[in-house]
């Protein structure tokens, strides 16, 4: 059996370093690990963007940060300000937590307007800074949603122009499931990409979620997964 090279798997993974007690030493080490394994992105809290930008300079790893993480309950103006600030500091990608309270209250138009405003802000601000398109990943925290609600919210997000739907912050009531990914994929088809995150800790998990339709995997266990894959292919 022919296995894809290590770097190909790495480019399907976002290495999440989002614990609230993360220190500078851990961030610097994570940058070195991200470069070693050629991850798609290293995802950190906004306060670490300048440090990560310096340590990833010249590498093929994108800098991802978060907006309204992990609850999504900031006001729209605060979320927009967070997004602009993160891009100004050097973020290439943003994982933005949706306000599920608006959706659960039946305020679909307000929910939609907030996400659309954030997507447009990211695009316009990145153009202003001449740094190319900043990818937007909208976190819907599937653990708080029924299957039908996941369908409904995925339909709404199709209208926003966002690049990805992301399944979980990793701080919700449960991790992601294969059914979450399949449900989203059935709604969005090829019109949006999917980032599966939350409780993905092994190579088998990664293979399963990619097989279910995920395009990107978010995990804090990225290094262990790559080491597991290297042992498997004997590289």
List the CATH number of the domain containing 207: 3.20.20.70
Of 79, 137, 195, 205, the catalytic one is 195
Nearest residue to 134 via CA among 163, 111, 160, 168:
163
The answer to whether residue 147 is domain-embedded is yes
The answer to whether residue 29 is domain-embedded is yes
The answer to whether residue 10 is domain-embedded is yes
Instruction: Please tell me the total count of domains within the chain.
Output: 1
C-beta of residue 232 within 8 angstroms of C-beta of residue 2: no
Give the alpha-carbon dihedral of 25, 29, 30, 32, to 10 degrees.
150
The answer to whether residue 226 is domain-embedded is yes
95 is catalytic: yes
The answer to whether residue 1 is domain-embedded is no
Mean pLDDT by 10 residues, the chain (235 residues): 83 98 98 98 98 98 98 98 96 98 98 97 86 92 98 98 98 97 98 98 97 98 97 85
Of 92, 95, 163, 180, the catalytic one is 95
The answer to whether residue 40 is domain-embedded is yes
Structural domain that includes position 66 = 6-233
The answer to whether residue 35 is domain-embedded is yes
Specify the pLDDT at position 127: 84
Report field, pTM of the whole predicted structure over 0.85: yes
Of 62, 79, 137, 166, the catalytic one is 166
The answer to whether residue 41 is domain-embedded is yes
């Amino acid at each position: 059996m022919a296995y894809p090279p290590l770097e190909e798997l790495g480019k399907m993974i976002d290495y999440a370093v989002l614990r609230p007690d993360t220190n500078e030493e851990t961030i610097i080490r994570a940058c070195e690990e991200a470069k070693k394994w050629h991850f798609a992105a290293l995802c950190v809290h906004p306060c670490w963007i300048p440090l990560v930008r310096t340590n990833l300079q010249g590498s093929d790893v994108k800098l991802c940060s978060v907006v309204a993480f992990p609850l999504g309950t900031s006001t729209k103006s605060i979320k927009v300000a967070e997004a602009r600030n993160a891009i100004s500091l050097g973020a290439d990608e943003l994982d933005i937590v949706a306000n599920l309270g608006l959706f659960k209250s039946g305020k679909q138009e307000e929910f939609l307007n907030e996400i659309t405003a954030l997507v447009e802000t990211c695009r316009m601000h990145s153009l202003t800074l001449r740094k190319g398109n900043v990818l937007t990943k909208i976190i819907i925290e599937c653990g708080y949603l029924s299957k039908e609600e996941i369908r409904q919210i995925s339909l709404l997000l199709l209208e926003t122009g966002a690049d990805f739907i992301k399944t979980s912050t990793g701080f919700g009531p449960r991790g992601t499931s294969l059914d979450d990914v399949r449900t989203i994929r059935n709604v969005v088809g090829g019109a949006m990409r999917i980032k599966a995150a939350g409780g993905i800790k092994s190579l088998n998990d990664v293979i399963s979620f990619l097989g279910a339709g995920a395009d990107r995997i978010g995990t804090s266990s990225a290094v262990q997964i790559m080491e597991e894959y290297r042992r498997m292919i004997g590289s």
